Amino acid sequence: MATAKKGKAPVISDVAKMAGVSVSTVSRYLNGSPHLKPETADRIARAIELLEYRPSAVARGLRKSAMKIIAVFATNTTLLGSAVTIEGVEAAASERGYSVIISKLDPEAPGNIERAVSTVIDLNPAGIVVLKYDKAALDALAQLPDNIPTVVIGGERDLQRDQVLLCEREGGYAVTEYLLALGHKTVHHVGVPVRSRETSRFDGWTQALWNAGAKVPEPLNSGWNAHEAIDLAQELVDQGATAVFAGNDEIAMGVIAGLTKLGKAVPGDISVAGFDNHPLGSIWNPGLTTYEQDFTGAGQEAVNLLISRLETKDEAPAPRLREVPGRLIVRESAQTI
């Protein structure tokens, strides 16, 4: 076992590191779980003693008071989907008498995810909502203790936790089907870095092309920054694209900007559709055809699932799935070929 270090006050992740266990295991020990091996419990107890670890004064106050907190983990809170989902969480939580804290995950900063999880656990929240849109969220989920009720939004199907899905696959299918119905022989795709299998907009795009017997072009990949998509316009032109489905509206706007620089008219030469229904989409030139996800509804539904589990804790219902459908919005950026 490592030795204690002098300096700032230790947190739960320090205890976990010294004891050679996960943060969630330490949390279970602190909450009196009877399912820990004696030797594991002994190592944790020894680490707590050596580090002189004590829950913060804030955490102790929260445990003794009637204050109710829901913690939200999100990687990029500036993205439309994340921001509006969090608004939905906050609105629903407020109606039920809960406060909300936001913990931003930064996968580029060493140790950030572990520290974020440790800080939230020390606050002893009533429950946690995780926006499961990327690897950072998956890493955070893996460190969360099973004694804190948790709901995930998005991502692959999670059989261990309550989950809310935004019907991304159905949305990707609807956009692609619409573009094909305009007479395009196939639809090219510029994807965003969403980590999910079988439930993503990418999967919907692929399925719609397969069902129509259309060629499935090699997808292009973009980050979350619309400026990256500008440079992809040349590749789309080189591939002979007549219709493009972008992974979100910002990327679609970047594609349109890139095509315009190349002298290509949208939708005259190439039709472009996006995803998410960004507020600027309706006033963009041309107005952006897109698929609107109900982010607000997803955040609210996550809170409903979380609080219902808190209220029926003794009954321990099996993990539940809620799907929140969206809708296709047709504007001027796509036309009949």
List pLDDT tens digits, range 129-144.
999 888 899 999 998 9
- Of residues 160 and 207, which shows the higher confidence score? 207
For residue 254, pLDDT beyond 60 = yes
Distance (Å, whole) CA 174 – CA 114: 39
SS3 state of residue 267: coil
Mean predicted confidence (pLDDT) in 247-252: 96
For residue 21, pLDDT beyond 70 = yes
For residue 223, pLDDT beyond 60 = yes
The answer to whether residues 4 and 51 touch, using CB atoms and an 8 Å cutoff, is: yes
pLDDT recorded at residue 67: 54
Split at pLDDT 50, 70, 90, the class of 321 is very high
Per this entry, what is the length of the chain?
Answer: 337
pLDDT recorded at residue 56: 53
pLDDT recorded at residue 62: 43
Two structure tokens written together for 60: 């102790």
| Phi/psi at 61 (5° precision) | -65, -40
Distance (Å, whole) CA 49 – CA 59: 19
The answer to whether residues 171 and 275 touch, using CB atoms and an 8 Å cutoff, is: yes
Largest CA distance in the chain: 72
pLDDT recorded at residue 35: 73
For residue 30, pLDDT beyond 70 = yes
Mean predicted confidence (pLDDT) in 41-70: 68
What 29-38 contacts at long range (C-beta under 8 Å, 24+ apart), as own/partner pairs, is: 30/55, 31/145, 31/147, 33/147
SS3 state of residue 304: helix
User: Across all residues in the chain, what is the average pLDDT?
Assistant: 89
DSSP 160: S
pLDDT recorded at residue 49: 81
Distance (Å, whole) CA 90 – CA 96: 10
Mean predicted confidence (pLDDT) in 264-292: 97
Distance (Å, whole) CA 306 – CA 287: 38
For residue 44, pLDDT beyond 90 = no
Run of H or E residues at 62:
helix 57-64
Mean predicted confidence (pLDDT) in 149-157: 93
pLDDT recorded at residue 64: 45
What share of the chain has pLDDT > 90, as a percent? 62
In angstroms, what is the C-alpha Rg of the chain? 23
| Phi/psi at 247 (5° precision) | -65, -25
Q: What is the pTM of this model?
A: 0.80
For residue 47, pLDDT beyond 90 = no
Distance (Å, whole) CA 241 – CA 307: 48
